[in-house]
């Protein structure tokens, strides 16, 4: 694995407590982000003796956090590195991301099977994709590479075993049949698959990814999880043909589709179709989740009934909307001022705890509300760091400076593909040549779910 001399990265220089964070200048933003990042990593114990690298304390009842949230945290820190230039935590991120890949190098480690959802796996895959797009330092040559890991996640999720004809298609929430929630199909699982496919299409130039992203979008619309006004609802049960739609709305659902739509807009060279879809998502997201231009989790914030998972959604909202402005610059004038106002409210909550700089959750109060945790810190770190989005280059591709190596066979050696296909012997840098064409062509009949009506 990666060099284990990592504790120092989380055990040095906490800095002076600061109850009055500033985002007035770029230097202020970097200083504030550095403090918030430090405080975030106080929730991480995986670098301590006897602990498991890569995860936050959990899952319940062992701790508050499910496996997926750590994957999201490492993505937040990858963005933090790119946006601020601070490499303090890079070795820690690399160790964590590689420790959790699982025996088949596809982010399905056996120790998390009891709560392994397509969305959980998808979040780790999106963080690996982010590492490739940001040119995050590559792992050692004998370890799985960022692009290959993202490909592996996508390929396992494109497996015929993950798609069936219930509800006319779509991914189920959970992966193992025995898990609670296997009978549920939802927006976030399919959103991660859509998002990852759109990004792989842009990075590699492989149209197969884009075709599946388009089909996934069409299914989500057809089944009613996204309506004509671009409101996105949680999901439905297969025994009800997904007609019992849970109409709860969560900001990360809008954000994951918004970013994916921005990538599809970019990949299609600004097509009118994806421009319209992206504009619709931007308008709906701001109207629903930014009252008074401050991020607000409408499903749970008023009564503070948010679960630990939900307490982290605002960070993805800020990060992915900010990145979307690089991929589809025409939305910048509408999005960036909102994110700046929201971030100003967020840092005003960072006056709690013994160090008088712990961040809260209810940004609209512009004061510390006593709600603390990794998600709350991650939200503010994402918001603050993202203010620097116009100071850094956009995500790379394999033709614009990307250095991460792909693997056309990644994901084909997972359990769902064993004894199904003979893996190709060729490999190329980007994995764009024959990756899913070989897989999906052989399974075209099974994959017909995408053309089945509601």
User: Residue 401 is part of a domain; what is its CATH number?
Assistant: 1.50.10.20
Q: Is residue 135 part of a domain?
A: yes
Query: Mean pLDDT over residues 101-111, rounded?
Result: 97
- Whose CA is closest to 342, among 297, 308, 375, 296? 296
pLDDT tens figures, 110-148: 999 999 999 999 999 999 999 999 999 999 999 999 999
Q: Is residue 320 part of a domain?
A: yes
- In this structure, the number of other CB atoms found within 10 A of the CB of residue 86 comes to 16
Q: Is residue 74 part of a domain?
A: yes
Q: Calculate what percentage of the chain has a pLDDT beyond 70.
A: 87
Q: Which residues of 390-416 are buried (b: 16+ CB within 10 A; e: fewer)?
A: eeeeebbbbeeebebbbbbbbbbbbeb
CA end-to-end span of the chain = 47
DSSP secondary structure string, 3-24? Answer: --TTGGGGTS------SS---S
Residues near 376 by beta carbon (within 8 Å), at least 6 away in sequence: 311, 312, 359, 360, 361
Q: How far apart are CA 443 and CA 239, in angstroms?
A: 25
- Quote the number of domains for the chain: 1
Beta strands in 125-198 (DSSP E): 184-186
Q: Token digits for 178?
A: 């025995």
Query: Mean pLDDT over residues 5-24, rounded?
Result: 54
Question: Does position 12 have pLDDT exceeding 50, yes or no?
Answer: no
Candidate from 3-17, 210-224, 317-331, 429-443 with smallest mean pLDDT: 429-443
**Residue-level pLDDT at 5:** 41
Task: Report the chain's mean pLDDT, rounded to a whole number.
Answer: 89
**Residue-level pLDDT at 273:** 98
With cut-offs at 50, 70 and 90, classify the pLDDT of residue 415.
low
Q: How far apart are CA 254 and CA 283, in angstroms?
A: 11
CB of 159 closer than 8 Å to CB of 229? no
Q: Is residue 11 part of a domain?
A: no
pLDDT tens figures, 315-326: 999 999 999 999
Q: Is residue 140 part of a domain?
A: yes
Q: Is residue 439 part of a domain?
A: no
Domain extent, residue 125, equals 58-410
Query: Mean pLDDT over residues 393-402, rounded?
Result: 98
Q: Is residue 8 part of a domain?
A: no
Question: Does position 10 have pLDDT exceeding 80, yes or no?
Answer: no
Question: Does position 423 have pLDDT exceeding 80, yes or no?
Answer: no
**Residue-level pLDDT at 408:** 79
- In this structure, the number of other CB atoms found within 10 A of the CB of residue 204 comes to 28
What three-state secondary structure class fits 174? Answer: strand
Q: Is residue 220 part of a domain?
A: yes
List Cβ<8 Å contacts ≥24 apart for 225-232: 225/186, 225/187, 225/190, 226/187, 226/257, 229/280, 229/284, 230/254, 230/277, 230/280, 230/281, 230/283, 230/284, 230/285, 231/284, 231/288, 232/187, 232/191, 232/257
């Amino acid at each position: 694995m990666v060099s284990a001399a990592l504790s120092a990265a989380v055990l040095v220089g906490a800095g002076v407590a600061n109850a009055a964070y500033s985002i007035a200048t770029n230097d202020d933003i970097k200083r504030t982000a550095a403090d918030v990042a430090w405080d975030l990593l106080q929730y991480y114990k995986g670098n301590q003796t006897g602990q498991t690298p890569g995860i936050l304390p959990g899952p319940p009842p062992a701790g508050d956090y499910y496996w997926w949230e750590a994957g999201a945290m490492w993505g937040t820190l990858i963005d933090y590195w790119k946006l601020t230039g601070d490499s303090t935590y890079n070795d820690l991120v690399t160790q964590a991301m590689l420790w959790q890949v699982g025996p088949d190098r596809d982010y399905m480690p056996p120790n998390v099977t009891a709560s392994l959802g397509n969305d959980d796996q998808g979040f780790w895959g999106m963080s690996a994709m982010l590492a490739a797009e940001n040119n995050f330092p590559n792992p050692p040559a004998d370890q799985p590479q960022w692009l290959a890991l993202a490909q592996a996640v996508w390929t396992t999720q494109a497996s015929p075993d993950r798609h069936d004809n219930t509800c006319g298609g779509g991914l189920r929430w959970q992966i193992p049949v025995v898990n609670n929630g296997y009978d549920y199909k939802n927006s976030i699982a399919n959103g991660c698959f859509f998002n990852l496919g759109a990004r792989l299409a842009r990075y590699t130039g492989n149209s197969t990814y884009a075709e599946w992203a388009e089909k996934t979008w069409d299914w989500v619309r057809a089944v009613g999880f996204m309506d004509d006004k671009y409101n996105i609802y949680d999901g439905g049960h297969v025994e009800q043909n997904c007609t019992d739609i849970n109409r709860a709305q969560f900001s990360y659902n809008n954000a994951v589709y918004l970013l994916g739509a921005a990538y599809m807009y970019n990949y299609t060279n600004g097509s009118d179709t994806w421009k319209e879809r992206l504009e619709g998502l931007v308008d709906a997201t701001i109207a629903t989740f930014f009252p008074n231009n401050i991020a607000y989790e409408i499903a749970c914030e008023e009564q503070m009934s948010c679960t630990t998972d939900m307490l982290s959604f605002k960070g993805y909202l800020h990060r992915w909307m900010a990145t979307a402005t690089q991929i589809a610059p025409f939305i910048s004038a509408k999005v960036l001022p909102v994110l700046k106002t929201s971030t100003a409210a967020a840092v005003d909550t960072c006056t709690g705890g013994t160090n008088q700089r712990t961040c809260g959750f209810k940004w609209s109060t512009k004061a510390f509300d006593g709600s603390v945790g990794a998600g709350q810190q991650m939200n503010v770190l994402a918001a603050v760091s993202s203010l620097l989005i116009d100071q850094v280059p956009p995500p790379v591709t394999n033709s614009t400076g990307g250095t991460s190596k792909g693997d056309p066979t990644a994901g084909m050696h997972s359990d769902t593909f064993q004894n199904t296909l003979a893996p190709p012997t060729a490999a190329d840098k980007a994995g764009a040549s024959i990756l899913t064409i070989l897989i999906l062509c052989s399974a075209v009949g099974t994959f017909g779910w995408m053309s089945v009506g509601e």
